Amino acid sequence: MDGNGRWAKKRALPRAVGHQRGVEAVRRLVRALEPTGLECLTLYAFSSENWKRPDEEVDDLMNLMRRFIRSDLPEFVANKVKLKIIGDWQSLAPDIVAMLEDALAQTANGNQTLAVALNYGAQHEIARAAAKAAASGAVSIETIAAHLDTADLPPLDLLIRTSGEIRLSNFLLWQAAYAEMIFVDTLWPDFEPAHLMQALDDFARRERRYGGR
């Protein structure tokens, strides 16, 4: 979900407003999930590199996360959306960890999964998984995959990046090995369910060969 800051800058608004509008885009997308039939939607919300941002912006993001959980959890439960968190989220502030643990418990029986990457970096994820695989006595593609944060999620089929940037930025590097990718110019606050449907239509027309002919 890229482009919140640039969205705000274009309008001479504080970056915090861009992040708030980004949350509204998340709400629109989650509310449109059911008819798509998607098993899982994964959103990159806060990377392990985002701690390098100014303290004020990081505090704004953390407070926005708190407000989002409080305000939107009942809707997640009502719409049977199952929450999944990937990344080193348990090292976040204790009150946020407690809120997330409660949200995970309350949404455990949902039909569609919303996975949120918090304090996430794919390189760290792979390193953690490899260390766990080594500790178990066998390092292989299968054992590393079994220890990834996403081990209990469906395979990654489609990766969409907004805002015109054409790079993965340390997101789901292992999982993206054979994923289809779509890069759009739309800044995240302007991303609508129609953009997702267009991406899914594009994906449906692609032929996936996984290295074969």
- By annotation, the residues acting in catalysis are 2, 50
- Measured in degrees and rounded to the nearest 5, phi and psi for residue 109 equal -100, 20
In angstroms, the CA 62 to CA 72 distance is 15
CA 32 – CA 55 distance, rounded (Å): 34
- Whole-angstrom Cα distance, residue 36 to residue 78? 18
Half-sphere exposure of 4 (CA within 13 A, CB side): 20
Q: Which SS3 state, helix, strand or coil, does residue 172 take?
A: coil
